[in-house]
Every structure is written in structure tokens, then in C-alpha cells.
Amino acid sequence: PPPEPPPPEPTAPRYAPKRFNVVFILIDTLRPDHLGLYGYERATSPNLDAWAKDAVVFDDVWAQAPNTPRSMPSIFTGRYPSRIQWVERYANYGSLKPENESIFEVFQAGGWRTEVVSAHWYFERAGGIKDGVDLWDNQGFTTIKESNTQTIAHELTPRAVARIEALSAGEQPFFLLVHYFEPHGRYMNQPSATVFGKELVDKYDSEISYVDKHLAPLFAALDKPGVKEKTTVVITADHGEAFKEHGLYFHGRTVYHEELRVPLAVRVPGVAPRRVPDLTGLIDLLPSLAEHVGLKAARAQGRSFLPALKGDALPARTLFGEQLPYPNYQTHMVGVVRSDGLRVVRNVTDNVTEVFDLKADPKEKTNLLGADPAAAEDLRQALDRFLDADPG
């Protein structure tokens, strides 16, 4: 009989990069705890829930900013908002300097075709955001006010499906970002959405159900033979949404959990579904996706979560989130969370610091500094160092 093949070298990496296509679905303002796959009791997301059964789902994911103009550049560059090169940092819709390296530029330089399907005014206003994109289809946007009130998912999905079909027919690998603006406010009474009630939170859930309905044809396109086996799919959000958990509605005001926690599900061909409990940030997406296909993102501040796709635990870490002042809202807040569930939130403007134990107090209601002035001293010092290193 022929000799048995030798065992693999023990130093061989557990994760072998492949030139997969990447479809990155970014759903605006989507809280994880309002989705069935994260235990929500309302049927807001049946299509997403079913799709996620075939994916790696991350359970402890934090955005680095509570609003789109800070979070999206952070996602795209893999850097904290205060560490991005801004043309003008103190602006409602800041533009990016050319020296930033975005996820589009990394993939484009590696030989991928880079495209985006969206429909929002922000992408026309924020200079530099389109660097590295071969084709950005942002048709349907008008003014900021109209962008925030128009209903677009039913038009966006067919456009995204058409691009997936066209790109999949070619030989070149592709990176496609699809941005759904719903469930961002204003919450509209979508005719095809599930009605949950009349309160703001009910209308928010209806918006989620509307997006979920229009994800179904997108998932069908991604499941077709010739597409599914060579395409990695990522679904996440840029930030969450507040419903007076800390006195405010909507987002872009604080760094509490309701504004920063987001869903993250990743489906990779050949990788078994599982849950990942380890602390993860949206700044991890660029280094992870780059490494996933054999590219490098040297300037990203996040870390790769690829070991988690194979079932390995990710090392303990600290992760920051920032509410940088802008003309529409002047308060400066910074938060830090650690893998053990300890969290520090500081209102820099008012010089107020809070410490929370997320394992015992996930809603961030009890400030531990009241009973123990020395609580989380090392983590508070880490926050001090982060602020001291802010280039301003």
C-alpha cells in the first residue's frame, strides 16, 4: 500500500487564508438585544435569525462610537475615532485625510474589486470616505432630512442582489459593502413591517422587521451555488439606540451600552457555526477580514478575531469607545470595557466617572465608586492614559 501522508507540521497555522469574496452588510442603529438571535422575545428578525444559525455569532461586541460619522470611519480604518486622521475633527460629518488606510484600500490594493451599495446623504458629505472604492452606488440619496425619513430597503436589496450576481460571474474576487439605513430614526410606519405597538421602541422594532424582510432576497442570492462556497458574509451595525436607559432617546450622545453594543455574525465557507463570548470591537473587522484573505492592515488598532472562528478563546483585553464633541452635541465622553466585565465611563466635559460591573449590572445602573472609591483604579488609569494620548 502507498505510504501514509506525513502529519501536518505542528507550526502550520490553524487558519489558512483564501481569496474569498467578502459581502459586508452594515445595518444602521441596530441593537443586538432587539434580535431573536440574541434572545429577544419579539419576532423582529426571523430571516436574520435563521441565517445566523449557519454563522459564527459574537456575543460581546462594542462599537467605538455612538454615531455614524464617527463609527463608520472607525470601522473602515480599524482605528479609534480620536486616532483617525481627520480633515476637521470637530465637525458633524467629518472628512478623512488621504493618509488614512481604509478597508476598501486594503482590499483594492490586494486585487479585490471594491463596491458599495447604499442610499444616504452622509456618504456624499464625508470627504475621503470613498477612497479605495471602485464603484459606489449611492443612488436615491437627497438631503440629510430626506435621507433620514425615506424608506429605502425595498429598493436597496434588488440593487445589492444585482451586484452580487454580476460580480460573482467574474473571475476577480470582490469586496461589497451593503448599507441599510433602517432602523435609524425617524421611525416610519413601513407598510410591510410587523406592527408591535405605538411607543417609540415598538416602532423601532417594526423598523427592524422591515429590514429583516428585505434581507431575505439578499440571503437567497448569497446562498446560490457558485456564491456561497466562496463568499464570506459579515453582518453588523455601526452603533445602537437608546430608549431612556440613561435619560436619553436615540444615539450620538453617550457611551453607555445601549448606544455602543452591536450585533456581529460572520459566515465563512467551511467554518462551523458557534457562539463567541469574548470581548470584540468593530475596530477588529478590518484586521480580521484582511488576515482572512491573506492581506495586511498595518495601521489598524484592532486585533484579528480569526482564532475565534476556529473555536479558540481570544485573549483578555481592554476596549475603548468615544463620544467626541461635535457642533450638534458638545459633550465629550469616553468608556472602557475589560474582558472581565468591568467598565469605566467618564464624562470628560463634566468630570464625572462611573464604574460598572457588567456581569452583575448589565444595564449600567449602579456606580461602584459610590461604595468603593478605589473601584477599578487600574482600569480608570488605563482610561487616563487613553485620554492623555489623544492627539486632539
Comparing 40 with 188, which gets the higher pLDDT?
Answer: 40
Specify the DSSP element, H or E, that contains 266.
strand 264-267
Residues ≥6 apart with Cβ < 8 Å to 237: 26, 27, 28, 29, 30, 31, 63, 262, 263
Per-residue model confidence as pLDDT tens digits over 359-374: 999 999 999 988 888 8
pLDDT at 10 over 50: no
Q: Which residue has the higher pLDDT, 69 or 12?
A: 69
pLDDT at 147: 56
**One-letter amino acid of 105:** E
Give the domain ranges of the chain. Answer: 21-309, 332-388
Over 50: is that where the pLDDT of 316 sits?
Answer: yes
Res 263: pLDDT: 98
Task: Please give the pLDDT value at position 154.
Answer: 83
- Report d(CA 69, CA 77) in Å as an integer: 13
Q: Comparing C-alpha atoms, which of 247, 231, 230, 250 is closest to residue 239?
A: 250
Q: Is the pLDDT of residue 13 over 50?
A: no
Mean pLDDT confidence for 88-102: 91
pLDDT of 51-72, one tens digit each? 999 999 999 999 999 999 999 9
pLDDT of residue 205: 95
Write down the CATH number for the domain with range 332-388: 3.30.1120.10
Task: Return the CATH number of 21-309, one of 3.40.50.800, 3.40.190.10, 3.40.50.300, 3.40.720.10.
Answer: 3.40.720.10
Mean per-residue pLDDT, 145-159:
76
351-363 core/surface letters (b: 16 or more CB in 10 A; e: else): eebbbbbbeeeee
Query: Across the chain, what does the average pLDDT equal?
Result: 90
The predicted pLDDT at position 119 comes to: 86
First to last CA, the chain: 69
- Give Cα 196 to chain centroid, integer Å: 26
Per residue in 203-216, pLDDT (tens digit) is 999 999 999 999 99
- Tell me how far the alpha carbon of residue 102 is from its chain's centroid: 15
In the numeric block, which cell numbers belong to residue 181? 439605513
Per-residue model confidence (pLDDT) at position 333: 81
- DSSP letters for 116-158: EE---THHHHSTTTTTT-SEEE-TT---HHHHTT---HHHHHH
Q: Does 143 score more than 80 pLDDT?
A: no
Q: How far is CA 243 from the centre of its chain?
A: 20
